[in-house]
Every structure is written in structure tokens, then in C-alpha cells.
Amino acid sequence: MLDATTRSGDTATASPRAAATELVVPVRVVTAAAPTGPLARCGRVLLSPWSRFSLLVALLAAAGAGVLLFKPQKLLADGWPPQVGGTTAAMVFAVAYGLCTVAFVPRPLLNLAAGALFGSAVGLATSLAGTVLGAGLAFGLGRVLGQDALRPLLRGRLLKAADGQLSRHGMRSMLAARLFPGLPFWGVNYCAAVSRMGWTSFLVATALGSIPNTAAYVVAGARASAPTSPVFLIALASIALPTVAGAVVAWRKRHHLRKP
């Protein structure tokens, strides 16, 4: 009876083995069933990759329509609204610059406007801020709304090679893409978003790689009133020479992307 209880006076004390036996309590694991109602099915449809991609297409179409309606290129002809000036004007322009790049407005046009409105130094800082902002917005939209739907479509050899370069060598690949003047800014943003490239590499490479080309256009816009000045001619040369050099390099190195 030592395994059952040990009596001392009127008090009964359970033995260790009996106590261990009494403490064993069966536990039932309950698994919650996945919701199957109409609202749950609707939620799954709305959160599906292709639904999110459709939302991305709709947002970009609306942004493009807004650009056609408001015509930001009028800044070159009409100038900045007189009621907005100083630092506020530069900040508002940087935000507008970023939103316009998401909506496919060409950056050279915006850079020329920044130089004409704010001069070389402030115009360059404003343009670079807008460039990074616009690139970050496009990258985020593409990553959240488009990556899951588009990655399964990367089946061609060229697409796989480009995706591999951006995914494995994000910083240097993006830096080269920004320095090359022939690649569309918005196209590079969304291609990087579909790849597995990290946020930090994308934004840092965008900021550094955009400086030369942006500075050339901003200075050209700031000195457009003196088209025969040496500074304006140097700015034009800084725009034309990298374009030609980039085209030559791309032609000579085109076989690299064709390798499996």
C-alpha cells in the first residue's frame, strides 16, 4: 500500500507515483475550421494575386489619366503658382515630382522644370528627393500588388536572366540601370519590384545612380535662358555623351542577358 497512500495520524498523503498518475489530464486539440461563408470567399478573391494586380493596373491607369488631365508639363510654360514659394514650394514640388513619376511622366521634363523654377542647387536636391520618393512608391506598389501575380510568368530566358541579376546583385544592377540613360524610370521600378531585390539596395542605388543624369537636366533647365553659355553646353554634352556611350555598351554586352 506504499504506492497508494501513506497515513500519518488522521491525514492521508498521496505517494509520488499516485500523485503523478492523478495529474495526467487528457488534452483535446481543437483545430478551428477555415471560414467558408460568402464573406470569407469574397475576401479570398479580393486578396488573390490577380485581384491585387488588377488593382495596380487600375491605379496606374487612373494616374495616367490624371496626368493627361492636369498636364504637369505646363510648369515649363506657366511656372510655379505664385502663392507657393520658398521651402514650401520645393517640398510640394518634390512630392508632385514623385507622384508624377509613378504616373509615367518622363523625368527629363520634371528635371528641366526643377532647374527652371528653383535653380541648379535647389533644383537638384528637389529632383533627387522626388526621384527617390517616386521610385519608392512604385516599388512598394509593384511589390505588394504585382509581385505574386507576375513572378510565375517569368519563364523566358531573358526575363529569368534579368530577374536573376536584380535578385542576386541588386545594388550594382540597379546602379547600372540608373546610370544608363536609355532605360525608362518607371519600367526599372516595376521590374525591380517583381524581383527579390531588397528595399535598401533599391533606394540607395536609385539615389546614387540618378545624380549624374538628373544634374545635367537640372542645370540645362536653370541655364535655358542662355543657350550659348558654356555651362548650358556642358550640360547638353553631359546628357548626350552618356546616352551614346550607354547605347554602345548595351550593344556590345547584349549577349550576357541571353545566356541561360
Per-residue pLDDT tens digits for 130-142: 999 999 999 999 8
Mean pLDDT for 19-35 is 50
Is the Cβ–Cβ distance between 172 and 232 less than 8 Å?
no
**Backbone phi and psi for residue 5, each to the nearest 5 degrees, phi listed first:** -145, 160
Residue 2: predicted pLDDT: 46
Average pLDDT over residues 42-62: 76
Which pLDDT tens digit goes with each residue over 67-113? 777 776 666 556 666 666 678 888 988 998 998 899 888 899 899 98
Whole-angstrom Cα distance, residue 82 to residue 116? 15
Average pLDDT score over residue span 28-50: 57
CB atoms within 10 A of CB 126: 28
Q: Are 189 and 135 in contact (CB under 8 A)?
A: yes
8 Å CB contact between 195 and 227: no
Domain boundaries, the chain: 49-75+83-256
Average pLDDT over residues 41-66: 76
Altogether, the residues listed in the chain come to a count of 260
The whole-chain average pLDDT of the chain stands at: 76
Does 9 or 234 have the greater pLDDT score? 234
64 pLDDT higher than 50: yes
pLDDT of amino acid 84: 65
* Dihedral sign of CA atoms 85, 86, 92, 95 in order: positive
- pLDDT 10s digits, 170-198: 788 888 888 887 788 988 898 888 888 88
Cell of 12: 492521508
